[in-house]
């Protein structure tokens, strides 16, 4: 894995949805041997670390986010020997491996929950959140799960309800029980002992629930829609202040290793200060925390600049931000931000990679891969399939296109992949690798600039220009200029003279000089050495 103090603060991470990245055994489903086969590509791309979507055994009600064994490997994805070899082979290429850890809930098939169902006196009953019904037999409160249904399911044998913030097959753990803390500290030490470099922590803002199980309140003016569930503010079934003591303990464990292990939180917080709290103010907590206001902003100059500047001002001293534009839940930035316009894709990549701190690419981002319209009969995601008004998450989980032709090199010709492809005759690795002007080669160049320290540094960020179309900022001896609009613009920047082009949405411009007066075409972006 990468070495050096705080290497993660400026790292380029790469999220792999394992089932969709590369099929190593020819059954139509991506797997750990397939990830191993693709390590040379990741080394060529230059990434510092990979984050694997859940690899632990699961009934797959939520495709691995319903864990039935925290110390195993899903048999459809490979074996423990495969995972050990992946960690070893990635390490030989100086690539760290992060696993997905799901501490908010388990599968209903987990032995803990199976035992808990045996009765109120069961050994593991207290591992989960149980409550008596109201006098009329209805659920204990107004909490709803991620599908909009009540977040409680009745156990007829005991007459009690159990809590699930997601599917009924994903019962929530009770973090008020000290035994749950001990179980997870043992789990993270188990994986650290096998050489895993860290964890992406699922639902990191969750874990604790209000002791009194109070009703969630109505929304307030200014609440971000993504912070609401069932039209209510989720202040009692998640985002509880007690969660911070978990990460203080885990941070001590992670930092006790040499090199230190990394904790990356899925933190759905929309207040920059509260987001910064997860990184620790008096005591260290998570090393990195995802910024969802950035992810969910439009690709427009003013909204993005506002999120970035407010985030940087709210971080604890010495902490680093982490930026991403796509993931397995929210969709791909090429479609959501860029409406599949290749020019906008290039501008978004320059923006993402030039910001200070760490970056997480979702597999295919480097190609400008867009969402795929998956027919209802091929959809696999129970959380979103058939829900009115909500796009199915399968749209952004389709297989990685490696080469032109049948099944795009993901799995053998004639084998049906677990999810269908879109049209990727030009949006594939082989085609773009041979094209100097492709999104892939632009992304590789940006990763190299980050590794060399020329962009993505953690120095003070100075705004040079901001209007409805153009955002320009200075950072560590570079100036980034972004026309985030479909119209040409002309701007005069406060530069001493023409500056060398380190990176540009047009590969032919690299190495030349631009400024101070700039004429920018639609979605044109550049990084200048000043």
Residue 274 lies inside a defined structural domain of this protein: yes
Q: What is the CATH number of the domain that holds 132?
A: 3.90.400.10
Are 429 and 301 contained in the same domain?
A: yes
Residue 171 lies inside a defined structural domain of this protein: no
Are 479 and 510 contained in the same domain?
A: yes
Q: How many CA atoms lie within 13 A of 349 on its CB side?
A: 31
Q: What is the pLDDT of residues 270-302, one digit of tens each?
A: 999 999 999 999 999 999 999 999 999 999 999
* Sequence-distant (≥ 6) Cβ neighbours of residue 381 within 8 angstroms: 62, 63, 392, 393, 394, 397
E strand or H helix at 481:
strand 478-483
| pLDDT at 179 (0 to 100) | 98
Residue 209 lies inside a defined structural domain of this protein: yes
Q: What is the rounded CA–CA span in Å between residue 420 and residue 461? A: 42
- Which of the four pLDDT bands, split at 50, 70 and 90, describes residue 5? low
Instruction: Write the Ramachandran bin of 239: left for phi over 0, alpha for psi from -120 to 50, otherwise beta.
Output: left
Residue numbers annotated as active site:
202, 266
Are 183 and 120 contained in the same domain?
A: no
* Mean pLDDT computed over 133-155: 96
Average pLDDT, the chain: 96
Are 330 and 389 contained in the same domain?
A: yes
The residue out of 128, 163, 198 marking a domain boundary is 163
Q: What is the pLDDT of residues 219-275, one digit of tens each?
A: 999 899 988 998 999 999 999 999 999 999 999 999 999 999 999 999 999 999 999
Q: What is the rounded CA–CA span in Å between residue 377 and residue 370? A: 20
State the total domains in the chain: 3
Phi, psi of 239 (to 5 degrees): 60, 35
Are 409 and 467 contained in the same domain?
A: no
| pLDDT at 276 (0 to 100) | 97
* Mean pLDDT computed over 20-42: 98
Q: What is the pTM of this model?
A: 0.97
Q: What is the pLDDT of residues 351-392, one digit of tens each?
A: 999 999 999 999 999 999 999 999 999 999 999 987 777 889
User: In which domain, by residue range, is 318 found?
Assistant: 7-107+178-451
Over 80: is that where the pLDDT of 481 sits?
yes
Q: What is the pLDDT of residues 77-96, one digit of tens each?
A: 999 999 999 999 999 999 99
Pairing type for strands 513-514 and 499-504 reads antiparallel
Q: What is the pLDDT of residues 196-215, one digit of tens each?
A: 999 999 999 999 999 999 99
Q: What is the pLDDT of residues 454-470, one digit of tens each?
A: 999 999 999 999 999 99
Are 289 and 434 contained in the same domain?
A: yes
């Amino acid at each position: 894995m990468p070495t050096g103090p705080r290497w993660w603060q400026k790292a380029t991470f790469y999220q792999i949805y394992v089932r969709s990245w590369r099929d190593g055994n020819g059954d139509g489903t991506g797997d750990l041997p397939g990830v191993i086969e693709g390590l040379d590509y990741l080394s060529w791309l230059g990434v510092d670390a990979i984050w694997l979507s859940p690899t632990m055994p699961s009934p797959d009600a939520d495709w691995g986010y319903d864990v039935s064994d925290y110390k195993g490997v899903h048999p459809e994805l490979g074996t423990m020997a495969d995972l050990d070899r992946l960690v070893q082979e990635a390490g030989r290429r100086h690539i760290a491996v992060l696993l997905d850890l799901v501490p908010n809930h388990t599968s209903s098939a987990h032995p803990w929950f199976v035992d808990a169902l045996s009765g109120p006196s069961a050994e593991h009953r207290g591992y989960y959140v149980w409550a008596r019904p109201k006098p009329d037999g209805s659920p204990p409160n107004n909490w709803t799960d991620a599908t909009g249904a009540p977040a409680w399911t009745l156990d007829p044998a005991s007459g009690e309800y159990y809590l699930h913030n997601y599917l009924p097959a994903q019962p929530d753990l009770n973090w008020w029980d000290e035994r749950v803390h001990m179980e997870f500290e043992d789990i993270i030490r188990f994986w650290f002992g096998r050489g895993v470099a860290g964890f992406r922590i699922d639902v990191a803002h969750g874990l604790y629930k209000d002791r009194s199980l109070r009703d969630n309140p109505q929304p307030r003016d200014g609440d971000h829609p993504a912070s609401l569930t069932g039209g209510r503010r989720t202040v009692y079934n998640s985002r509880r202040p007690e969660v911070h003591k978990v990460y203080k303990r885990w941070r001590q464990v992670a930092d006790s290793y040499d090199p230190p292990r990394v904790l990356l939180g899925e933190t759905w917080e929309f207040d920059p200060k509260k987001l910064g709290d997860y990184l620790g103010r008096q005591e260290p907590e998570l090393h990195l925390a995802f910024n969802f206001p950035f992810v969910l902003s439009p690709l427009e100059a003013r909204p993005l600049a506002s999120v970035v500047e407010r985030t940087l001002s709210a971080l604890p001293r010495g902490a680093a931000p982490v930026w991403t534009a796509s993931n397995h839940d929210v969709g791909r930035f090429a479609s959501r931000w860029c409406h599949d316009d290749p020019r906008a894709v290039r501008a978004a990549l320059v923006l993402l990679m030039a910001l200070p701190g760490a970056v997480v690419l979702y597999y295919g981002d480097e190609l400008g891969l867009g969402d795929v319209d998956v027919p209802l009969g091929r959809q696999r995601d129970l959380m979103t399939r058939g829900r009115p008004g909500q796009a199915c998450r399968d749209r952004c989980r389709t297989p990685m296109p490696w080469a032109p032709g049948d099944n795009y090199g993901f799995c053998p010709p004639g084998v049906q992949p677990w999810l269908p492809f879109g049209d990727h005759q030009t949006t594939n690795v082989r085609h773009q690798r041979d094209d100097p002007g492709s999104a892939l080669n632009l992304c590789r160049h940006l990763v190299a600039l980050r590794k060399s320290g020329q962009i993505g540094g953690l120095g003070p960020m100075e705004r040079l220009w901001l209007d409805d179309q153009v955002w320009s900022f200075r950072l560590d001896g570079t100036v980034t200029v972004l026309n985030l609009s479909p119209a040409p613009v002309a701007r005069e920047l406060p530069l001493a003279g023409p500056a060398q082009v380190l990176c540009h949405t047009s590969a032919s411009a690299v190495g030349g000089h631009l400024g101070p007066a700039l004429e920018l075409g639609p979605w044109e972006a550049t990084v200048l050495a000043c």
